[in-house]
């Protein structure tokens, strides 16, 4: 073989090697880089009837989520799964878990070691005999989750609080039901100098609830606060179920929500929206049974 042929073969081998390296998943989202439709996410983590909301670590190699302890029983267990060897591993119960209590909605705070979650563990100012779900926080150290700490706020401790999302400036948004379940309202808590303010009403969601044909459920605000994904059930449909809707920030106001297209919604229930901190993907749950993932560019092109 002459030197020219050898050089060509060597270059071809190098290009092939580089291509293989580029195609090799480097984290739990890498395989979706060329995604152009709705896809299943981590099917091995889904269980029919008990698949709920999750969030990612900063490197997208840890997935935090929760399940019912037993189908039909309203007790929830927090889990983590690691992305290793090109796949999501069997989940493990979160280290802070205490089987006396129930835990929901783990939310990793991007760029920090903090993880928020909600639990019916009794807070120090709760005088009720059956505590509802309130915010708690744990710190991540060397990959382990530390002892839970009560998240200090005074109002809404008797409400059923749920579905938190967080934006780049640290603002927490969430849904809250009154203790008698007669009213659902949306709130936000702003971060000022490292301290969260008391919850205040987030009126766009509450105003949409004035539509008598709609049941407005949970929502997720984008990292840069430029759009909202909200779950809405249109009761004028023959077989109503919750779907995902989009609202944009336009000239300082939130647009009226529009149902998202492109096959993202279906006759089944779509809920538990979560926008990845890098703003590239929407993760949601179908029929409480499957995690789904879709590029944000499809969501925004309604």
Evaluate if residue 4 carries a pLDDT over 60: no
Contact 270/231 with Cβ under 8 angstroms? yes
The rounded Cα 220 to chain-centroid distance in angstroms is 8
Average pLDDT over residues 249-255: 96
pLDDT tens for each residue of 79-109: 999 999 999 999 999 999 999 999 999 999 9
- In sequence order, which residues have a C-beta less than 8 Å from that of residue 177 and are 6 or more positions away? 159, 160, 162, 183, 184, 185
Query: Residue 20 has what pLDDT?
Result: 46
Evaluate if residue 11 carries a pLDDT over 60: no
Query: Residue 91 has what pLDDT?
Result: 97
3-state secondary structure 195-261: EECCCEECHHHHHHCCCCCEEEEEEEECCCCCEEEEEEEECCCCCCCEEEEEEEEECCEECCCEECC
**Average pLDDT of every residue of the chain:** 92
Task: Give the position of tokens 């205040």.
Answer: 200
Q: What is the pTM of this model?
A: 0.90
pLDDT tens for each residue of 21-58: 445 568 999 999 999 999 999 999 999 999 999 999 99
Q: Tokens at residue 10, please?
A: 């060597």
Following DSSP, what letter does each residue of 65-129 receive, concatenated? EEEESSTTS--EEEEEEEEETTEEPPPEE-TT--TTS-EEEEEE-TTSSEEEEEE-SPPTT---S
Q: Residue 270: count other Cβ atoms within 10 Å of its Cβ.
A: 22
d(CA 165, CA 225): 11
Q: Tokens at residue 220, please?
A: 């997720």
């Amino acid at each position: 073989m002459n030197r020219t042929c050898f050089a060509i073969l060597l270059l071809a081998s190098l290009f092939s090697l580089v291509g293989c390296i580029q195609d090799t998943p480097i984290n739990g989202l890498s395989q979706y880089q060329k995604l152009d439709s709705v896809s299943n996410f981590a099917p091995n983590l889904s269980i029919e009837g008990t698949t709920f909301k999750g969030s990612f670590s900063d490197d997208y190699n840890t997935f935090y989520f929760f399940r019912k302890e037993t189908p039909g029983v309203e007790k929830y267990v927090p889990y983590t799964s690691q992305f290793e060897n090109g796949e999501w591993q069997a989940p493990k119960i979160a280290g802070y878990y205490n089987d006396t209590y129930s835990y929901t909605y783990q939310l990793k705070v991007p760029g920090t070691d903090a993880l928020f979650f909600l639990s019916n563990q009794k807070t120090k100012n709760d005088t009720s005999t059956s505590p509802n779900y309130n915010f708690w926080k744990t710190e991540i150290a060397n990959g382990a989750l530390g002892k839970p700490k009560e998240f200090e706020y005074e109002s809404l401790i008797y409400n059923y609080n749920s579905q938190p999302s967080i934006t780049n400036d640290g603002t927490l948004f969430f849904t809250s039901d009154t203790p008698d379940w007669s009213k659902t309202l949306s709130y936000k808590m702003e971060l000022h100098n490292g301290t969260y303010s008391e919850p205040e009403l987030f009126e766009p969601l509450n105003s949409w609830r004035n539509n008598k044909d709609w049941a407005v459920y949970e929502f997720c605000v984008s990292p840069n606060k430029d759009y909202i994904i909200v779950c809405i059930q249109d009761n004028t449909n023959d077989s109503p179920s919750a779907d995902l809707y989009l609202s944009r920030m336009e000239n300082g106001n939130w647009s009226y929500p529009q149902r998202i297209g492109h096959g993202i919604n279906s006759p089944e229930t779509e809920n538990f929206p979560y926008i990845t901190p890098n703003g590239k993907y929407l993760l949601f749950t179908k029929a409480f049974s499957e995690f789904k993932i879709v590029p944000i560019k499809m969501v925004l092109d309604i």
